[in-house]
Amino acid sequence: MYIINSDFGQNQIQDAKGAKSTKQTELGVEKCRKLLLPIPPFKEQQAIVKRVQAKLALCDKLEAEITAAEQHTKNLSAAILQEVFDRQE
C-alpha cells in the first residue's frame, strides 16, 4: 500500500498504463507484473519482523496497563461515592 501510494509507485503505475492523455486506461495483470517493488534483503526483513513484534508486545503491555488503570479509576470512584454517601447518613 505504501509503495503504491508513494510517488515512486504512482510514477511506475502511470508509466505502466502508458496513457499520457485524459482518456481512462486499464492497469491489467500483465502491466502490474512489470512494476518494480523494492523489497529489503531477507535478513533485513527478519530484523523488521523482530522489531515489529517487540513493538506489538509493548502495545499489548500498555493496553493491559491502561485497562488496569481504568478499572482502578472505576474502583476509586465507587469507593469515593460510597464514602460520601456513608457520611451523609
User: Do residues 49 and 22 both lie within one domain?
Assistant: no
Residue 31 sits in the same domain as residue 45: no
User: What cell was used for 50?
Assistant: 523482530
Q: Which amino acid, residue 7?
A: D
In the three-class reduction of DSSP (H, G, I as helix; E, B as strand; rest coil), residue 48 is classed as helix
Indicate the number of domains in the chain: 2
CA distance 64 to 67: 5
Co-location of 34 and 44 in the same domain: no
Q: Distance of CA 73 to CAs 30, 65, 80, Å?
A: 58, 12, 10
Residue type, 54: A
Does this model's pTM top 0.75? My answer is no
pLDDT digits (tens, 9 = 90+) for 11-39: 888 888 775 665 666 777 888 888 888 88
Q: Are residues 31 and 47 in the same domain?
A: no
Q: How far apart are CA 51 and CA 63, in angstroms?
A: 18
Instruction: Based on the fold, state whether residues 20 and 45 are members of the same structural domain.
Output: no
Q: What is the pLDDT of residues 50-88, one digit of tens each?
A: 999 999 999 999 999 999 999 999 999 999 999 888 888
Residues 46 and 80 in one domain: yes
- Residue 62: which domain range? 40-89
